[in-house]
Structure 1
Amino acid sequence: MKNHAAATVRNRILKGAALCGVLALSMTLTGCFVPPDDLSGDLSNQGVVYNTVAVSAPPRTATPTPSPTPTVESVFNFGTNTIMPTTQPGVITSNGIVTVVTTPPGSIATTARPTATPTPTAAAVLKKGSSGADVKTLQRRLKQLGYYTGSVDGDFGDATEKALRAFQDRNNLLVDGIAGKSTMAKLNSSNAVKAAAATATPRKTATPKPKTTATPNLSTEYYLQSGSSGTRVRTLQARLIELGWMAGSPDGNYEGATEYAVKAFQKKYKSLYTDGVAGPSTLQTLYSSSAAKSSTPVSSIGTTLESGMKNSGAVKAMQTRLKSLGYLTGTADGSFGDATKAAVIAFQTANGLKADGKAGTSTLNRLYSDAAIAASSMPTATASTSVDGYTTLSEGDTGTAVRNLQKALKNKGYYSGSVDGKYGAATTAAVVAFQSAQGLRVDGKAGPATQRALFTTSSSTDTSKYTTLRPGDSGAAIRQLQTTLKQKGYYTGTIDGDYGSGTTAAVKAFQKKMNITPVDGIAGDKTLTLLYSSDAVDSDEYATLRPGDTGAAVRTMQATLYELGYYDGSRDGVYGATTQDAVRAFQIRNKVTPVDGIAGNKTLTKLYSGTAVAAAAKTTEYKTLRKGDRGDEVVQMQDSLQQLGYLAAVTGYYDDATVAAVRSFQSRNGLSVDGSAGQETLAVLYGSNPRAAY
């Protein structure tokens, strides 16, 4: 019992001691609570030295990835016991240093959760090729401001980029077509400038690049040469102008000026023949990206050059050509002054043109042609040859011309000597008497005015003005004949006064042109009278066509009248009543007089020029062409689109590429954009002034 009682007491004592120990421990723990460290306070009076470790934070990137909070372990020694203190999380300060503070032993460390500093999310950069909701938002905002007119589809394409560039330009931002931070900030601000305000404040615009000539379809070989006309010639001329070889504007007629420029271009390449003919090799080279350019035009078309023009490339080209022919001795400076006008008049006179000092189409084409007569080619005796072929004769001259002069003076009663072809004192006296009677300048020389008065008022006793000239003849009269034939483009030989085979061929050509019969190569009175009259036409001019005429010339005229809407009959080459009515209608609309239905040189020159006015009332009906169509009508449409730079290839099939080309053409020309070629689209496409692609 005693032992049991003792054991019970011992157990109770032990339990009480344990309870006291627990209570003591609890009290101890309760008294040791330490609040979280205040890093802003003074740590010098805490009675314990704290270890503070500075750790450099890694550099920030655009989108930083949270890294584990660095910790530092510090060891505190109390007597013989080593206690590991609680380590607190690091704190990142404003200067990028991580400060870690440890809690001394003997206390309970409570870790305060650091306040997370939000990391800015980098704004997405939108540019061409981007897509999604952000692009839609961009498009919608650009549309609100009036810069974007396309569909809000979330695809950043050409239209979106163009609109964005316009916005950047208008708002004084870097114009790069990329929606970066600055652009987006301005775009979404309340002071973003709207597109409508663009007209309120003038701004600088980029200088537009010259329009590139559309490369024609060269898959089919063709040749352009003197006498050619139409769209292909106009495209060729536009390319020559673009490359600097010509000045002016295309007229679609391949004449002297165009041929001259083509020759100049061909001379740049050893592989090309310098013949002035634009064949496959020349065209391939001309339309290539590496085609040779000229800093100064060598010819000009489509414009009239006249006094007062300054700093003109066309004038400079003309002056250069006049210098090469010996008519101008001054500087080719591009300014049309008195010296240039005098040179033009001299050239026109020598070449049988209207001597008005203005360089129009006829003068320029003759100037740049191989048929142009140089000043050095004119014989000394014909320095004062008039446009109607009269050569000044004076004492000492001999030959047929003098004989004709003496004969006419004798018929008038002024000369009583022998008709021997020798201009002596008696002939001079007769000329003086005639000049005095006619009120002319009295100098004893039979110049153009004197001869014109003498021969147009000859006595009725001899109705023939001229002595017949035949092959084998020679002398001044032959030189005069050759000079006039050369001026008018029929004769290309030397003016030597000998009536040879070349002169005979030239006379035949003139007779044929003027419908003189017989075409025998003999210059009789009828031939010479017409040759020296104002009715004589140049070899490159148009012979008059009249009702009753037939042949290729009539057929060509009918075809042109048909294209212009004046003629709807058969192109049969017969000049009948329908053709005459068409010519008369053309003359009325184009103000060509007289309105007689006869196609003379004046009418035909206007008809074949690039300025001929088409019939107003004629409207061509076109069949609507759509995707999937095939045939010649599609080929014609594709060829026109290709010539204007909208389409790459002519296939004869209305495919997706053709639809895209038609849509582009419609948009460029202010038409309804649907990709189908209807009446309105085709009328503009085949009209006189369709707008080419950019």
Structure 2
Amino acid sequence: MQLTQLQRSAAQAIVSIFETGRPTGGYGRVTVLQGDTGRLTYGRFQTTLGSGALYFLIKDYVERPGAIYVSALAKYLGRLLKRDGALDHDGALHRTLKAAGEDPVMRQAQDDFFDRNFWTPAVAAARALGVTTPLGVAVIYDSKVHGSFERVRDRTLRQVGPPSAVGEETWISAYVANRRAYLAQHAQPILRKTVYRMAAFERLIRDDNWDLDLPFKVGGFRIDEKTLRAGPAKGRAARILAPADTPMKGDDVREVQARLRELGYGADPTGAYDDDTVELVRKFQEAHGLKVDGAVGPATRASLETARPATPNAAHAEAAPEPAVLAAAPHPA
């Protein structure tokens, strides 16, 4: 069994649509699914906190040379290992994960992680069963990502026997029907809703598209060669804000100023990276052990995103307004 690169990409695109709502996913995507055992999920393939997989992904990332957000994410490893549910609502972590999705090192870490933990095991499981078609591999890959593969595999083997006895197409069709029933009757309501995954596979089976010939549609998305070769959409990387004779201007400057203000540095969100803002950035960098250059690059940006508000320095504290003096209200006679 040897899938072409396009067939492999097509199989992964199907599962990406199920997981992220896009054929090629999003490396910086952060979601929290209430009622799901995964809870906080992250990345192109929605790696979950509840399964423990998010810990291993972040651990892999921070150990890679050149990773930008090492200090900002390494401090969460202990809590990720414990699957701390409070991380579902940790805004600083969520912001850092989103930003890290633009780091090429994180993108490669996610691709390698899913190849190692899901795609390669799915291909091995398909080979062990004698499943060779791209659609059959896609069905097994989806189960490896979503869960329940072994349970449904064993149920299908008991019902119809191995693929070698009934034919691969018959076996995969029975497997999909069994998995639909398994999901539809699941104790967790949120998983009952995921029967749409099986509906998509049933449609491909009805279309006799066992080779995943392009183009085809899943979940309203057209999967074609152009989509697959384009790869995951890349967000616009944050520019480095640096001191200049003519101050840089923009919403990104205003966001940094607003964040400095939240942290007690008293910046006015003017949108201009002027001398006053540069000086406040320098003070922030000095207080957080960063290179003091007045520029907001990846390291300073990550620290801004994860820093906690502190009592502002007296020099930056704003004077509280004097309370208004109210005239005594007349009493009724």
Q: TM-score, normalised to structure 2's length?
A: 0.35
Larger radius of gyration: 1
TM-score (norm 1): 0.19
Identify, as 1 or 2, the structure richer in helix: 2
